[in-house]
Amino acid sequence: MKESGQRVEAVARDGVSDEQLVASRILDNPIAWTRWENEHAGLMRTVAEQRRPLRQITALKMAAFSVIHRKALFEHLRDQQIRGEARQVLVGYFHRTRGYGHALVAEHGSYLRSACSYLCSSYLGSTVICDGVFQEPMRRYEELYAEYFRAFCDDSVNRSDDEVRSWRTLLPYLKYQLTGQRRAVLAMPQLTPDASWDAALRRRTGDTQKLRVDGLRAEFGG
């Protein structure tokens, strides 16, 4: 937990724009920080309880998978720019017992906490445990899960346009590909981390821009 807390502070200070925003939103809100700390401590406890190094690595991989899954809905809404009725239908599909407004606020909070735990678990895996599996192989799993989640969502809301039909056709293949990557990550022997990975993630380019906190608050009621 000490390493995780220091990582959040470091990212809030000089991380890349999207991660910096996530870390800052957690650090600047005592309630959000306390809730994240409790949830993240639970994840790290499952790792610390394992006595053998290989089992600890596996437990940390499983923790990383879980937070990738938990942050996927918010990322899908944001990245695919889902608005209006389509957003309400999709959020309602995953939150059937909550009103739309409460569900959206809850999903935003879950995203912030999960994204914060993911940047910590990636750091712990690649820098503290020194396993490069938490770099490119885990990032590839995250990409595949986003593709699978998009296809799953488009299929679930029962739209009928050509794009959705093409996603529906791809869904079994995407699930197969995702499952294969998960098994590969779990089975991979310890890899030598790429020392330039963290520096590359922090490097600012013309393709990145700082996200506006007030825009997120207006959009998601934070």
In terms of Cβ atoms closer than 10 Å to its own Cβ (0-12, 13-18, 19+), residue 137 is: middle
Give me the pLDDT at residue 157, please: 75
Pair of tokens at residue 185: 């990550």
User: How many angstroms separate the CA atoms of 140 and 181, rounded?
Assistant: 8
The whole-number pLDDT of residue 155 equals: 80
Arithmetic mean of pLDDT, 119-137: 95
Structure confidence at residue 220 (pLDDT): 38
Q: Does pLDDT of 34 surpass 70? A: yes
The pLDDT assigned to 154 comes to 83
Please give the pLDDT value at position 198: 56
| Residues 2-29: tens digit of each pLDDT | 899 999 999 999 877 889 999 999 999 9
Find the range with the poorest average confidence among 13-22, 71-80, 171-180, 184-193: 13-22
pLDDT tens-digit profile of 46-98?
999 999 999 999 999 999 999 999 999 999 999 999 999 989 999 999 998 88
The confidence band for 211, taking pLDDT boundaries of 50, 70 and 90, is: very low
Residue, of 210 and 57, whose pLDDT is higher: 57
In whole angstroms, give the CA distance from residue 171 to residue 151.
6
The Cα 113–Cα 138 span in angstroms is 19
